Amino acid sequence: MRYAQRGYLLLLNGMALLAAIMLVWLMVAVVLSVVIRNLGLQPSAWFFLSTEYAMFYLTLLGAPWLVRQKGHVHIELLTSVLPPAALNILSRGVSLLCVVVCGVLAWKGLDLVLLNIERTDYDVRAFFVPKWILTIVFPISFSLMAIEFGRFVVGHEILHSGEAGIKE
Amino acid sequence: MEWYFALAFLLSLILIFMAIGTPIALAFLAANVIGAWHFMGGQTGILQMLNNGFGALSSFNLVPIPLFLLMGELFFRTGLGMKMFNAIDQLMGKVPGRLSYVTVVGGTAFSTLSGSSMGSTALMGSLLVPEMERRGYKKKMAIGPILGTGGLAIIIPPSALAVLLATLAKVDIGALLIAGILPGLTLAGFYIATIFIQTKLDPQAAPNYELEPVPLSAKLKLIVTDILPMLSVMVIIVTLMLIGFATPSEAAAFGALGVIILAFIFRCMTWEAFNLSVTGALKVTLMAYLIVFGSATFSQLLGFSGASGGLIGWATSFDLSPILMLLAMFAVLLVLGTFMEQISIMMLTVPIFFPLAQALGFDLVWFGIVVLLALEISFSTPPLGLLLFVMKGVAPAGTTMREIYSAAIPYILCSMLLVAVLIVFPSLATWLPSMLQ
Amino acid sequence: DQINAVHAFPPSLIYTQSFLEFVDKVNERGEGVVQINVRGGPEVIGLSEQPDAVRNGVVDMAYTAASFYAGTVPERDAMVASNTNAIYARENGGIDLLNEIHQEKMGTYYLGWFDSGVSYNFYTIDGPSVDGEGNLNVSGLRLRSNPVYDAFFQDYLGAQPISLPTTDVYAALERGVVNATGWTQIGLKDLNWDRFLNYRVDPAFFSTDMGVIVNLDKWNQLSEESQQILQEVAIEHERDSAEQLAELAKEQQAQLEADGMQVITLEGEAAQRFSDAARDATWERMRGQMERHPMGLEHYDTLIEKFNDL
Ligand code: NA
Ligand code: NA
């Protein structure tokens, strides 16, 4: 059990690290392709394409980690005025809603990946990229998000602080 | 389903989810799952929604924002930012609220090089809000001007959104871009007046600490060592754009690189600062882009269900005087802008609004500026304006949405005032293009 | 019968207007039998997601470029590289064959190839030079990338086109980040690019590949009368749109020339080499992509024959 837990954390943080590397890659790729172009040479179209894909990958790869960090903003209209007991119930209910939504998206995301493989779909841009290589992050990311929201349903801690603002 | 039922159904879903404290991105996703299931034919609707989200995120248009965030974070975490603010503080002496003015001037300058409201807000917000709070400014004095000038990015050229609007509406692109300059500067002027009034009404809003008079030679030294280097990064980026070395979207990457180089030169680049900067930029990017993922699909659902089209058709179906028609169109843009993403709104409204504007005898370039202003305002209108969430992401811990909302309102009123001024003096928008052509 | 439809581009584009004309014709002739409800354009479903939406039945019909689903139906390159138009390909059965392929590979019915025969040209800011043999000289050309012609440009000229988001192209041309782009013979002025582009290179190459796809299950559920009306009107519109746009292309090119656009015409063998290169690169791409599918190269030669007047 301890190993499973540690492996899970490694996956969660590893995905966030990958997202961070992709963010830095955005800068590197744009600078390189502009400089190469201005030297009169031909930058590969992969530079451009990789930035577009990186936007998609990094958003989904980092999203579960951000749930754990409580970094997804919400409006504290109701949560800041409720007494602690009511807040406890509401907050766990909201987290459960998030689990359901992420669960549905993970399940349908998996369907989408299988469909992409079955149909051998390609994403058609400067290159033809097999679609499943991209959509595969849907089931992974939304599953992990469901687990992370799940921790706020049953865990010791709840999602909402009851105070206005994010506590860091 | 009638359009008004569809509209009420989708909007109440999103509003209820948000009101109970669902994270904004998840509120959109939840509304999308239900909406897609209902309007797009069950399970396949959700596959479609995931496909749409992929399409919305994997777009180069989104690349500048993380890069501007990275630039702002690096500037702040390496201590370069603090040096510059110290210097400005000392140079400006006793002017109350001086850093707020600096925000407007800096934000306006930055808007001229960025075409992205989100990028501009993210950069200025991560750069200035923590620093100004540390110096004893009330939050509204930092957050308000930044939200205001963030919106200027799409009015003052270069602006990708203005180019797209002109293309869709078949208006002269050059004229529309140039037409934005004077209204943009006027708006910046209104912002400065707002700060002046705020510091008069509430002297506690900005710190009023005494500073030792600084001798001229020391002032010159401050300018050269603390202000010029960062200024030169800005100048270099603008130059790179003007000479065609890089496009406006690409310039952001050079901004981030420029700050890294600067930090190495001033020996304040540490591994820790780099690490914190990337983490900070990543957090806000993730937060904002998961919202983009959700809201782009939500916009499409509003379109697909016929809700937004119905609203547009209904609002323009009355036989009103030109001025009332203008206000009706303006109101529709504001309503849609609260829930939808800007490019979708333009594609929906332009085919109906521009022919109508022409029939009403409006100057189309002038009308284009009014449309851009409406989009800009809706981008920072409570409760759902995306800029407000970006600000929440970059503002210091403990900043509430309510503080952000109330900081935004005076600056939204400024934009409204500008619209009124444009109605009374259309030449504010039309004069410059007519001079140059 | 009710049919929900989307179109790939905003209504300001001439191609969308042509589709809306088709919709009007169907709705007029099909009154009481079949009606097309246009749900909207890319603001309703993103343009690259529209083909999948039809395939999955989220909408029944889409007016879109076959290039957007080239991974599924690589045979679309037969249209891209065509030196004729839909009138020709309809008469000799080329479009019927393409329809069969669409049904088998994609589960969609290919109703018609609209706005065909409109070709592309290269447009440049600075006067392009030609070498001793009359070939186009690429040194100094910075070409905007476009999936439709990238293969041609890479093969023929050995150059890597520059990728830019569409919204950046105006600024990029203004500042010279790119100084050349391909575009169809129609619509350059609508984008205002004519302000910066001063030269057109002839001959023109390729054809647009806009067309209407219908979800196959939906198509099979339609009454025979509805099917007949749709197909009839589509075939008429194939002809009408090809003829109208050919006329419009002439008008717009003349207008650009009157406004000062200069024309650089490649002559004789060099022109032939240019045109051949455009076609060969595209056929090569089609062959490569077709080989990756179970159907393989079965229809390769037939398609080339039926879509070209050789
Ligand atoms: Na701008
Ligand atoms: Na504003």
Report d(CA B155, CA C108) in Å as an integer: 44
Name the CA radius of gyration of chain A, rounded.
20
Cβ separation A73–B24 shorter than 8 A? yes
Ligand 1 geometric centre to CA of B237 (Å): 13
pLDDT higher than threshold 80 for residue B186 = yes
Report d(CA B431, CA B434) in Å as an integer: 5
Model pLDDT for residues C268-298, shown as the tens digit of each residue: 899 999 999 999 999 999 999 999 888 899 9
Tokens 């609002």 sit on residue: B315
Q: Which of B51, B303, B343 is the closest to C40 by Cβ? A: B303
Q: Which of B50, B254, B401 is the closest to A105 by Cβ? A: B50
pLDDT higher than threshold 70 for residue B437 = no
Total domain count, chain B:
1
Look up residue B60 and give its two tokens: 């180069």
Which of C2, C6, C16, C58 to mutate to probe the B interface, most B CBs <10 Å?
C58
Ligand 2 geometric centre to CA of B333 (Å): 15
Which pLDDT score is estimated for B209?
A: 67
Cβ separation B172–C175 shorter than 8 A? no
Quick one: which ligand is closest to B144's CA?
2
Q: For residues B31 and B120, which has the higher predicted lDDT (pLDDT)?
A: B31
Q: Is B1 inside any structural domain? A: no
Three state DSSP letters for C33-52: CCEEEEEECCCCCCCCCHHH
Model pLDDT for residues C47-59, shown as the tens digit of each residue: 889 999 999 999 9
Chain C, nearest residue to A122 by Cα: C71
Neighbouring residues of A51: CB distance < 8 A, sequence distance ≥ 6: A25, A26, A29, A30, B60, B63
B-chain residues near A49 (CB < 8 A): none
Cβ separation B285–A69 shorter than 8 A? no
Which pLDDT score is estimated for C309?
A: 87
Report residue B155's pLDDT band, with 50, 70 and 90 as the boundaries: confident
B213–A contact, CB cutoff 8 A: no
Which candidate, A53, A126, A51, B55, places its Cα nearest to that of C146? A126
Query: C282 near C119, Cβ under 8 Å?
Result: no
Which pLDDT score is estimated for A167?
A: 34
Q: Which of B63, B67, B402 is the closest to A164 by Cβ? A: B402
B351–C contact, CB cutoff 8 A: yes
Q: Is B34 inside any structural domain? A: no
Report d(CA B66, CA C159) in Å as an integer: 31
Which of A17, A22, A48, A59 to mutate to probe the B interface, most B CBs <10 Å?
A59
Report the gap between the CA of A79 and the closest CA in chain B (Å).
Answer: 6
Report residue B284's pLDDT band, with 50, 70 and 90 as the boundaries: confident
Chain A, nearest residue to B49 by Cα: A105
Q: Is B37 inside any structural domain? A: no
As a whole-number percent, the residues of chain A with pLDDT over 90 amount to 68
CB interface of B with C, residues 10-29, below 8 Å: none
Quick one: which ligand is closest to B377's CA?
2
Query: C62 near C213, Cβ under 8 Å?
Result: yes
Ligand 2 geometric centre to CA of B437 (Å): 29
Model pLDDT for residues C214-264, shown as the tens digit of each residue: 999 999 999 999 999 999 999 999 999 999 999 999 999 999 999 999 999
Query: A48 near B372, Cβ under 8 Å?
Result: no
Mean pLDDT taken over chain B: 86
- Range C257-295 burial, b when 16+ CB lie within 10 A, else e: eeeebeeeebeeebbebbbebbbbbbbebbeebbeebee
C-chain residues near A120 (CB < 8 A): 71, 292-293
Q: Determine the length of chain C.
A: 310
Report d(CA C52, CA C58) in Å as an integer: 8
Model pLDDT for residues C108-145, shown as the tens digit of each residue: 999 999 999 899 999 999 988 888 888 888 777 888 98
Average pLDDT over residues C162-183: 85
Cβ separation B59–A55 shorter than 8 A? yes
Query: C226 near C30, Cβ under 8 Å?
Result: yes
Q: Is B13 inside any structural domain? A: no
A-chain residues near C164 (CB < 8 A): 48
Cβ separation C49–B51 shorter than 8 A? yes
Cβ separation B254–A31 shorter than 8 A? yes
Q: For residues A84 and B34, which has the higher predicted lDDT (pLDDT)?
A: B34
Q: For residues A163 and B277, which has the higher predicted lDDT (pLDDT)?
A: B277
Quick one: which ligand is closest to B154's CA?
1
Q: Is B2 inside any structural domain? A: no
Which of B304, B339, B352 to mutate to probe the C interface, most C CBs <10 Å?
B304
> Phi and psi of C158, rounded to 5°?
65, 30
Cβ separation C52–B51 shorter than 8 A? yes
Report the gap between the CA of B18 and the closest CA in chain A (Å).
Answer: 6
Q: Is B18 inside any structural domain? A: no
Ligand 1 geometric centre to CA of B258 (Å): 20
Residue C143 is classified by DSSP as B
Average pLDDT over residues B407-417: 93
Cβ separation C163–A120 shorter than 8 A? no
Report residue A113's pLDDT band, with 50, 70 and 90 as the boundaries: very high
| Domain range for B331 | 59-435
Which pLDDT score is estimated for B227?
A: 81
Ligand 1 geometric centre to CA of C56 (Å): 40
Cβ separation B160–C39 shorter than 8 A? no
CB interface of B with C, residues 110-169, below 8 Å: 158, 160-161, 163-164, 166-169
Q: Is B224 inside any structural domain? A: yes
Ligand 1 geometric centre to CA of B110 (Å): 8
- Angle at which helices B342-359 and B271-304 cross, to 10°: 50
Neighbouring C-beta atoms of residue B430, cutoff 10 Å: 18
Give the end-to-end CA distance of chain B in Å, rounded to a whole number: 49
Report d(CA B236, CA C248) in Å as an integer: 45
Cβ separation C161–A45 shorter than 8 A? yes
Report d(CA B245, CA B419) in Å as an integer: 36
Torsion of CA B274, B276, B281, B287, to 10 degrees: 160
User: Hey, is B51 helix, strand or coil?
Assistant: helix
Query: B44 near B311, Cβ under 8 Å?
Result: no
pTM of the predicted model as reported, rounded to 2 decimal places: 0.89
pLDDT higher than threshold 80 for residue B39 = yes
pLDDT higher than threshold 90 for residue B233 = no
Which pLDDT score is estimated for A162?
A: 63
Cβ separation C160–A44 shorter than 8 A? yes
Average pLDDT over residues B309-330: 88
A-chain residues near C147 (CB < 8 A): 124-126
Subunits with at least 3 CB pairs below 8 A relative to chain B?
A, C
As a whole-number percent, the residues of chain B with pLDDT over 70 amount to 97
Which candidate, A72, C53, C108, places its Cα nearest to that of B36? C53
Report residue C74's pLDDT band, with 50, 70 and 90 as the boundaries: very high
Pick from A138-142, A159-163, B180-184, B236-240: least confident: A159-163
Chain B, nearest residue to A134 by Cα: B54
Report d(CA B409, CA C155) in Å as an integer: 57
